[in-house]
Each structure stands twice: as C-alpha cells, then as structure tokens.
Amino acid sequence: MNKLHLLHDAEKLYCVENLSPEIIAEKLNISRRTVFNWKKKYKWDNHIVKTKDFSKQFAGDIYNIGTKLLAKLKDWKYSSFHKFVQNKFYDINWGSNTDIKEIIDLNFE
C-alpha cells in the first residue's frame, strides 16, 4: 500500500498542529520511521520556521496599520485580518486602540 497519500496530512500535523512524529505515526497508522524520513527528506522543520516568521511579520504589519489608521482593526473591512479571526488565530478586538489605552492607563503602584 502506498503511504504517500498520507504525506500531506502528516506534514500538516507536524508543521501546523505541532504534533510529534510519534503521535503523527500513531494517528495516521504508519511507522515512526516513515514520519521521521519524511520530516528529514521534505525539511519540515524549515517550514515551521517560515510559518512562524510569517506570523510574526503579519502580526506586526496588522498591528501597525491598526494603531495608526484605525481605532479598531475590525472596522477595516478589506483586511485579510478577518480571515485570521475566522480561523481563530486572533480575537476580533485584537490590536484595538481601546485595548492599548486600557493597558497604558493601568496603575502598577
């Protein structure tokens, strides 16, 4: 039986869901060795770094736009931010000026 049809699923479980190769092998009912070989051959660790770097860059860009141009980022209807909210990466009120003002107004003494 050809296991290559499971390759994409295994990569997603590793890179996106941060599961270990052992858990992936168990979930997909394939050997650990297969998962480790795919991980090495297709350089899954590099994919994780790229995804994290993109996430940081995107968060920084969205935050800058939100704080400079809008009182609330959710008000910018053309932003791809809404897709990230839909996928539960961010809360709908993330990066709003009201949240920042509340943090600044806190008295820590």
* Neighbour count for residue 83 (Cβ, 10 Å): 10
* Neighbour count for residue 97 (Cβ, 10 Å): 14
Q: What is the DSSP letter of 40?
A: H
Model pLDDT, residue 3: 78
Identity of the residue numbered 75: D
Model pLDDT, residue 36: 93
Task: Please write the tens of the pLDDT for every residue from 72-104.
Answer: 667 767 777 778 888 887 777 776 655 555 545
Cα 72 to Cα 107: distance, rounded to the nearest angstrom: 24
